[in-house]
Amino acid sequence: MHSGTCLCGAVRFRTDATPEGASVCHCSQCRRQSGHLWASAYVPTEALAISGPVTWFESSANGRRGFCPRCGSFLFWRDVTETTTSFSLGALEAPTGLRLSKHIFTADKGDYYEISDGLPQRP
């Protein structure tokens, strides 16, 4: 079981599913919303229980970004045409038992840092 919360605790989530695709996203939307990078993993949307006043921002035609309207924590991402929802690894309670597997959207990364941890990079 994995559970997590936003900074103020108003929004909480939990899942009994095994998170997949633990990754770091370097796209400009994730960098703007998070302040740098967004680390996440995904589970089936039906297996993710979310409580509290999460607000969904429509960042594109199909993209939805869920955040806490009280403290601003960026917690969720989903594509409305898909059946999974990604959640912030940084919001999880420890120990997570998870390991990052890759970097994604690296072609869109900022020019102020390098990626040097040796994990696979997907442009």
Contacts with Zn ion: how many residues (CB under 5 A)? Answer: 6
Task: Out of 49, 71, 107, 115, point to the residue binding Zn ion (CB under 5 A).
Answer: 71
15-23, 26-34, 69-77, 98-106 -> range binding Zn ion (CB under 5 A)? 69-77
Rounded CA-CA distance 44/42 in Å is 7
The smaller minimum CB distance to Zn ion, of residues 8 and 107, is found at: 8
Q: Is the dihedral of CA 77, 83, 84, 85 positive or negative?
A: positive
Whether the CA torsion 39, 42, 45, 48 is positive or negative: it is: negative
Stretch that binds Zn ion, among 8-16, 34-42, 94-102, 106-114 (CB under 5 A): 8-16
- Considering Cα of 85, then 86, then 91, then 97, what sign does the dihedral take? positive
Pick one of 10, 22, 47, 98: the residue that binds Zn ion (CB under 5 A).
10
Beta strands 38-44 and 55-58 are: unpaired
Task: Tell me the closest approach of the beta carbon of residue 49 to Zn ion, in angstroms.
Answer: 17
The residues that touch Zn ion, with contacts defined as CB under 5 A, are 6, 8, 10, 68, 70-71
